[in-house]
Amino acid sequence: MPFELAQRIKTLPPYLFAELDRRKQEKIDQGVDVIDLGVGDPDLPTPAPVIEALKEAAENPENHKYPSYVGMKAFREAVSGWYRRRFGIDLDPDREVITLIGSKEGIAHFPLAFVEEGDIVICPDPAYPVYSIGAKFAGGEPYFVPLKEENGFLPDLGSIPDEVARKAKIIWINYPNNPTSADASEEFYKDLIKWAKKNEVIIASDNAYSEIYLGDRKPMSILQIDGARDVAIEFHSLSKTYNMTGWRMGMAVGNEDLVKALGKVKTNIDSGQFNAVQYAGITALNMPEEELDKLRAIYRDRRKAVTSALEKIGLSPIKSDTTFYVWTKVPEGYSSTEFVGRLIDEAGIVCTPGKGFGEAGEGYFRISLTVPTERLLEAVKRIENLKL
């Protein structure tokens, strides 16, 4: 019998990375040596101490029971300690920290706590698609603010109409930014907090890439700014920092009422993260900084190599020293979808079209630095051979 999809599902486009996976698999099935630079999934292994911690915790029958809805206190304390060491922020692990089954889960569920039918959720464009998808699932209407190169890929808060600001419940930000690799300044965060308080809008900050920095300047947490805790919640993840994408280990921190509301949603939707994974997360959060420096050095070398190679063949990558993405302009005469389609079909390279992240991403494509340097340079060589 035919089944009628809900309207919220009918109106969704194909999920960007699922579609890329489908096209990639087609080429693999044809015997093509595919170089996958599409999804931001680190190729480097999860650190051995983290794996050992999981093994030990998984062997303890006490960890086989239902976990806490909001996360083990020991993990929340580890998050609090990590934020203190990294950002100089004191968080109450009981009131201002919650464990997530990966930050994507929390990002998608958060609007359910505050967004009513017809409310506006302000989303950057281009951006991680889950910000707007979560808004739609909650019955909200995404309002997209373009991130323009001439503005350093920061949203122009002054361009948001007053009527939109009045109806908005949440504004999403993400710095260091996916896909553009831009970072935000202290001044931007101050202006954003002032704007949010004036308009009574919640700031939801996705800070998953804060530890992937390649220079001396460490990206900030919005919670370092005075007044942020009055209006902001920050989402973070162990996925990128510790090469734990498949482990689904994340957290949200910040304003007590916002964290509590997210916890209420989660209490009714899921049963929390497996305790053994949380014990592994504790080990990760307490790893020596020198171990992360080794990872950063690898990404630094990859970025330098691929950026230089792209420039030599006439492409224009955006300069950056954060994230493991290279945001690059497509050659003249192509749309982002056309260009990326040609890379897949004729060169066996999977990249992400800028338009897949939103209309304002048109004209760019994203390269993930999540394969060894020699494969990155092979990809650039294949692009050169296309004679664009």
Domain spanning 12-41+290-385, CATH class: alpha beta
Could you give the 3-state DSSP secondary structure of residue 327?
Answer: strand
15 pLDDT higher than 80:
no
In this prediction, residues 238-266 reach a mean pLDDT of 97
DSSP code of residue 217:
P
Contact between 219 and 209 under an 8 Å Cβ cutoff? The reply is yes
Record the pTM: 0.95
Say what the pLDDT of residue 2 is: 79
Domain ranges of the chain: 12-41+290-385, 48-285
In this prediction, residues 44-62 reach a mean pLDDT of 96
Confidence grade of residue 17 (pLDDT, cut at 50, 70, 90): low
Confidence grade of residue 6 (pLDDT, cut at 50, 70, 90): confident
Contact between 101 and 271 under an 8 Å Cβ cutoff? The reply is no
The Cα 77–Cα 75 span in angstroms is 5
In this prediction, residues 237-265 reach a mean pLDDT of 97
Percent of the chain predicted with pLDDT > 70: 99
Confidence grade of residue 387 (pLDDT, cut at 50, 70, 90): confident
Q: pLDDT tens, 109-157?
A: 999 999 999 999 999 999 999 999 999 999 999 999 999 999 999 999 9
48 pLDDT higher than 70:
yes
Task: Give which of 185, 219, 222 is closest to 202, Cα–Cα.
Answer: 222
The Cα 112–Cα 269 span in angstroms is 11
Say what the pLDDT of residue 16 is: 66
Say what the pLDDT of residue 23 is: 81
343 pLDDT higher than 80:
yes
Question: Is there a shared CATH topology between the 12-41+290-385 domain and the 48-285 domain?
Answer: no
Query: What CATH topology corresponds to 48-285?
Result: Aspartate Aminotransferase; domain 2 (3.40.640)
Q: What is the rounded average pLDDT for all residues in the chain? A: 95
The Cα 79–Cα 264 span in angstroms is 20
197 pLDDT higher than 90:
yes
In this prediction, residues 12-23 reach a mean pLDDT of 73
Contact between 327 and 209 under an 8 Å Cβ cutoff? The reply is no
288 Cβ neighbours under 8 A, 6+ residues apart: none
Q: pLDDT tens, 144-164?
A: 999 999 999 999 999 999 999
